[in-house]
């Protein structure tokens, strides 16, 4: 019996490079979409980002391009552009994160593609969106994180703004694009004429969309949020605290119930009766004194004993973990979040499993990313019905690899 996957039958054409659009393609491919990734002859630059085995692509690449069919077309040639347009005519979705206007110059813009395939959902990810005075500016995730507010409020008040440690702007934009694509597909399937849509995702807006009270507090109260380190401005206590074995534990006891449980396990009934800490507003106002008392207590215990003690008491808490600790954590292991997939060379590459988990039609990793142009012949033969001699001729003139 054929395995059922949530996005079976959906064909996606990816003109993506690096992080944002390829992350969209990865998510859709994980759930069964036929994602055809078009790379230039030299390959996606992500192949060379981060660490990898000697003489091989980066391990990040193998995870990011998993479950996709990889073809290589030189879009700078008219012949290559024509092949791409043919593929777009038979696709449900097109995703791209090139600089605004580039695909249009190659006759692959939304107006051009939708004229030939009105049902296509065309998703563009760019630094600032397809309109506005910044439209034509180059924009990477770090610029979006800076202009979208996250950098300014991340870090400690007496130090410069810092990044989060990952390409959070790109990943947030990818998630927003997936939401937009699925919403547009749902609407298209309710439309008797099956008209598609254009999904315009700006990296900056994707970042801004998760900044919670940042903008409402400014618009309505004139408040400008500043950096507060690991403290949560709007609720307390919520911080990381040192332990006796020089580890760090995160504790979030910022509701009345969890705060009562925390001070009880601490043996500090005086904190519970202290008028300063009787409300969330009071705890936020006096958070430094409260954090100092909690830190003094956590320093008396080793990390694992603390985690167990707080778990038994119903207080949300957990260790600050590095990659090794995460990969070996029993919760991560039990939920099969660590997987290994085979490459075309027969190697096994480890990566995170699919998120989220569906019960009836789960996503899964079917293969790891591969070589430049690994699936060019099979895609052109299967999707466009090109005979092998035509494919050989295209390769000979440099239109494909």
Q: How many CB atoms lie within 10 A of CB 324?
A: 8
> Do the beta carbons of residue 385 and residue 391 sit within 8 Å?
no
β-bridge mates for residue 249, sequence order? 241, 319
Distance CA 371, CA 22 (A): 15
Contacts of 15 (CB under 8 A, 6+ apart): 21, 38, 75, 84, 94, 95, 96, 97, 98, 103, 108
Contacts of 276 (CB under 8 A, 6+ apart): 282, 283, 285, 286, 289
Question: For residue 241, which phi and psi values (nearest 5 degrees)?
Answer: -135, 145
DSSP of 344-383: TTS-EEEEE--SS--SSS----------TTTTHHHHHHHT
Q: Would you mind telling me the total number of residues written for the chain in this entry?
A: 401
Q: Which positions are annotated as active-site residues?
A: 170
Tokens of 244: 């006796």
> Do the beta carbons of residue 155 and residue 165 sit within 8 Å?
no
Contacts of 33 (CB under 8 A, 6+ apart): 7, 10, 11, 12, 93
Question: For residue 357, which phi and psi values (nearest 5 degrees)?
Answer: -95, 125
Q: Between helices 20-30 and 168-190, what is the axis angle to 10°?
A: 50
Largest distance between two CA atoms of the chain: 84
H or E segment to which residue 122 belongs: strand 121-126
Q: What angle do CA 378, 379, 385 make, to 5 degrees?
A: 90
Determine the 3-state secondary structure of 30 from DSSP. Answer: helix
């Amino acid at each position: 019996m054929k395995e059922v996957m949530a996005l079976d039958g959906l064909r996606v054409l990816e003109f993506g490079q690096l992080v944002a659009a390829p992350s969209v393609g990865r998510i859709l491919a994980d759930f069964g979409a036929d994602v055809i990734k078009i790379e230039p002859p030299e390959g996606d630059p992500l192949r060379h980002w981060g660490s990898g085995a000697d003489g091989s692509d980066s391990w990040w690449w193998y995870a990011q391009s998993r479950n996709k069919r990889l073809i290589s077309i030189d879009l700078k040639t008219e012949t290559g552009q024509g092949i791409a347009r043919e593929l777009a005519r038979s696709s449900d979705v097109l995703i791209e994160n090139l600089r605004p206007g580039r695909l249009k110059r190659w006759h692959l813009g939304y107006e051009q593609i939708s004229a030939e395939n009105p049902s296509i959902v065309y998703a563009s990810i760019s630094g600032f969106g397809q309109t506005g005075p910044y439209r034509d500016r180059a924009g990477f995730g770090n610029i979006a994180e800076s202009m979208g507010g996250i950098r300014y409020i991340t870090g400690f008040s007496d130090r410069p703004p810092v990044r989060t440690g990952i390409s959070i702007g790109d990943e947030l934009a990818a998630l927003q694009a997936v939401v937009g694509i699925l919403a547009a597909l749902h609407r298209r399937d309710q439309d008797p004429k099956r008209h598609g849509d254009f999904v315009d995702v700006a990296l900056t807006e994707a970042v801004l969309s998760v900044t919670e009270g940042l903008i409402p507090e400014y618009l309505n109260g004139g408040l400008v949020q500043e950096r507060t380190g690991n403290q949560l401005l709007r609720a307390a206590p919520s911080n990381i605290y040192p332990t006796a074995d020089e580890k760090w534990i995160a504790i979030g006891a910022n509701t009345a119930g969890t705060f009562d449980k925390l001070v009880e396990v601490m043996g500090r009934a005086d904190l519970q009766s202290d008028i300063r800490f009787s409300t969330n507003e009071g705890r936020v106002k006096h958070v430094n004194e409260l954090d100092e008392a909690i830190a003094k207590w956590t320093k008396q215990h080793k990390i694992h004993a603390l985690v167990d003690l707080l778990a038994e008491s119903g207080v949300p808490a957990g260790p600050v973990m590095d990659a090794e600790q995460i990969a070996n954590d029993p919760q991560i292991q039990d939920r099969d979040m660590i997987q290994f997939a085979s490459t075309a060379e027969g190697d096994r590459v480890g990566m995170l499993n699919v998120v989220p988990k569906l019960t009836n039609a789960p996503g899964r990793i079917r293969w790891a990313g591969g070589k430049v142009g690994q699936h060019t012949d099979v895609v052109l033969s299967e999707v466009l019905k090109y005979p092998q001699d035509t494919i050989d001729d295209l390769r000979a003139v440099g239109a494909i690899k």
